[in-house]
Amino acid sequence: MTTHSIEYTTKSSTPEILLGKSLAELTDWVKQQGQPAYRGKQIYQWLYQKGAHSLADISVLPKKWRENQTGYSIGRSHIHYCSIAPDSTRKYLLRLADGLIIETVGIPAAKRLTVCVSSQVGCPMSCDFCATGKGGFTRNLKAYEIIDQVLTVQEDFGERVSNVVFMGMGEPLINIDEVVAAVKSLNQDVGIGQRSLTISTVGLPGKIRELAQHKLQVTFAVSLHASNQQLREKLIPSAKYYPLDTLLDECREYVRITGRRVSFEYILLSGTNDLPEHAQELAKHLKGFQSHVNLIPYNPIDEADYQRPSKKAIHQFQNLLKNERVAVSIRYSRGLEADAACGQLRSSRI
């Protein structure tokens, strides 16, 4: 924790934030303000469906009352900057109430609009191939700051968001309570199906089991990236405290508890983890496991020396896994030219 986050804690205790509250909670809040219960439903609809940024925006509320409310905040951020890649992916730098900046990505496709949300300001994991970790860690995001990212992208595209992936800045399972609260609200209040929400984690001891206890129906992805413990520790420093076998055991438990399969993400780094022996070793771990492997060809970042493998090597790796009956696909990231692709998000570029 930095001094910044301490300052935020004291600040955030003053205004009451409305975004993230359920219909019942908003109804309670308006009653406390001396308003009739149905005003709660009006605020709820304006917050989640009509994109209100302040109570003053909510024209159905009594003018005098909405203009005189203090001690609350709707909880929306401001778009500080937006860059658009040739493939129409938009990367946003959003300014939070305490002045910190986070990155969010909007990825349009036929009949889909996916938002890649951040769960933290920065990231403490320091994975060797990822730009976010190189910029350090500042603080966890609150649930409303995650929901806001989705509403902001929805508003900017003028289109409903269909999918949300927790693959922006940060490690969601360090911030599990706020992430679970955001998932529930995105599902119940914003109206996005749980299966269209993806939580991606590098894995932390005990945290995958803890997430499983919430019995969410979200898509669950684990960033594996290596076929053995030694290699994984080189790429992901925190893996030292989390043996690969223990991680895989917890993933099996996740499947047992939730009835949902696990996706494994495997970044392909030329000459490092993309050799035929790595594919064989990975297949051994995953044989008979209710899972799916997503191969992610490395997206270059300034701070690391890795190379993306050739198309031939990528397909060879995929075929070796297929031959071992491992379900596998290749996921090329979008937004590369706007530095908006997986691993390219960082807080320092403003």
Question: Could you say which of 121, 143, 146, 167 contacts ligand SAH (CB under 6 A)?
Answer: 167
What is the C-alpha to C-alpha distance for residues 152 and 77, in angstroms, rounded to an integer? 8
Asked if 186 is part of the footprint of ligand SAH (rule: CB under 6 A), the reply reads: no
Measured between alpha carbons, how far is 6 from 3 in angstroms, rounded to an integer?
Answer: 5
Which one of residues 212, 301, 320, 328 is an interface residue with ligand SAH (CB under 6 A)? Answer: 301
What's at 33, amino acid-wise?
A: Q
Per rule CB under 6 A, is residue 85 in the interface with ligand SAH?
no
The reply on whether position 200 binds ligand SAH by CB under 6 A is yes
Q: Report the C-alpha gap between 249 and 165 in whole angstroms.
A: 24
Residue 233 appears among annotated catalytic residues: no
Contacting range for ligand SAH; rule: CB under 6 A; set: 40-48, 79-87, 189-197, 293-301: 293-301
Least distance (Å) from ligand SAH to the CB of residue 104?
13
| Least Å from the CB of residue 222 to ligand SAH | 7
Instruction: Identify the bridge partners of residue 59 per DSSP, sorted by sequence position.
Output: none
Q: Is 250 a catalytic residue?
A: no
Contact residue for ligand SAH among 48, 92, 137, 298 (CB under 6 A): 298
Catalytic-role residue among 116, 123, 251, 342: 342
Annotated catalytic residue, options 103, 145, 178, 250: 103
| Residue 201 vs 347, nearer CB to ligand SAH | 201
Q: How far is the CB of 53 from ligand SAH (least distance, A)?
A: 28
The residue from 258, 299, 318, 347 that contacts ligand SAH (CB under 6 A) is: 299
In the numeric block, the tokens 């937006």 are attached to 82
> Residue 30 interacts with ligand SAH (CB under 6 A)?
no
- Residue 293 binds to ligand SAH (criterion: CB under 6 A): no
Q: Is 202 in the site for ligand SAH (CB under 6 A)?
A: yes
Stretch that binds ligand SAH, among 36-44, 146-154, 180-188, 195-203 (CB under 6 A): 195-203
Among 267, 321, 328, 338, binds ligand SAH (CB under 6 A): 267
CB 183 within 8 A of CB 138: no
Q: Taking CB under 6 A as the rule, does residue 244 contact ligand SAH?
A: no
Nearest of 100, 99, 80, 76 to residue 91 by alpha carbon: 80
Which residues form the interface with ligand SAH (CB under 6 A)?
129-130, 167, 171, 200-202, 223, 265, 267, 296, 298-299, 301, 342-343
Residues with a known catalytic role: 103, 342
